[in-house]
Structure 1
Amino acid sequence: MANVTPAFASMPRVNLLPKSEIARREREVLTRKWAWGVLAAMLIALLLIGGAFFLKLTADQRLAAEQARTNDLLVELAALSGTSEALATEAELTAFRTEAMATDVGWQPVVDSVENVLPTGVSLTGFELTVGSMPGDGDPATAAGLTGLIRLDSPTPVDIVDVVRSLRAVEGVLEADGQAVTSSTSEAARYAYLLTVTFDQTVYTGEYAPVAEEE
């Protein structure tokens, strides 16, 4: 029988390196890996430190800019302190005037409204009227604004009932009534009439009332 020889044959290889050399080479490879790992870790740490430093520097710069802006605003406010005090004083005086003049009355329209309903020959000779409460949130046509006495004079007797009825019909009058009648005959006969009357708060001018702000 013929011997068959393989078509391809390789030379046998034998690792003749001692185990100590193999271990040394493996240690070198491991050391290089560790060295690269440490270097990469240091590089990453440096990048993180640099990034943190950059962020802190940017924040410090922004803080310094805001502090400078705040200081500028404080300087401007200090320069305007006189104006602020003047505005505050003006606001206080305006509020005081609003309160003090809340019951300001248009006297001429009140006098005219009485005289317009008096009979011919009867004249208004005087009045003693006092203002009522300050305007509130209610209807001014139902709250008392002026209350007191009015004096009339006439050379002839008049029907006081008709006069009172005419006064009650005047716009703004809440109540009216007769109080007293006197006569004088020293020279010429004269008749004096004393009436009580109450006007509502529509007689207030409202000139100094606060202006409502538009929403």
Structure 2
Amino acid sequence: LPREAVAPLRRAMELQPDVAEAHNNLALALLQAGRAREALQPLRRAVELRPEYAEARYNLAHALSAADQPDAAAEEFRAALQLEPDWPAALRDLATLLATHADAGVRDPPEAVRLAARAVDLVQERAADPDEQFATNPRDDALLLDALATAYAAAGRFDEAVSTAEDAEALVADVDPVLAGRIRRQRDRYRAGRPPFDTPVP
């Protein structure tokens, strides 16, 4: 469990203060335990030790977003994507941030659509490539489509948002009813012409 992992990972970091992975591992446990603000310092140290450490930058983006620092979070998502431009999860999460944030100065719906569509295309291309050992996961695929639906809705493209959300829901209707229900509630918002940055769906 993340909560139980924090203490041993903190000791490991103290024993390896110059190892970026040790800082990132501690921060990831803190993030998973809901302690995002505490994760900021070890993640910043990990990035300082290894500026090219894409995973640490991605985790730092999540910590910054949870700490209500959206501009800095977007910057770190972009830094991670400069290092790993074909990373579907980073594309998805930056798209979601740009589509849903309450601050109009942070939102960029057209860019969110571009990023989310790229993430979906990447996964579909890999799944169709017989030379690539790539197993799709219905939940992951649904989350990508959900991000694309969210981006469409933020851009005012509600018909596309509804149809994409329906595709996402269908992928997990039998395997993750909780996620399917959340996506269905989002779809109903889009059908009513309500953007995702209005009031979040629980």
Which bracket does the TM-score occupy, shorter chain normalised? under 0.3
Q: Which of the pair has more CA radius of gyration?
A: 1
Q: TM-score, length-normalised on structure 1?
A: 0.20
Higher relative contact order (CA 8 A, sep 6+): 1
More helix per residue: 2
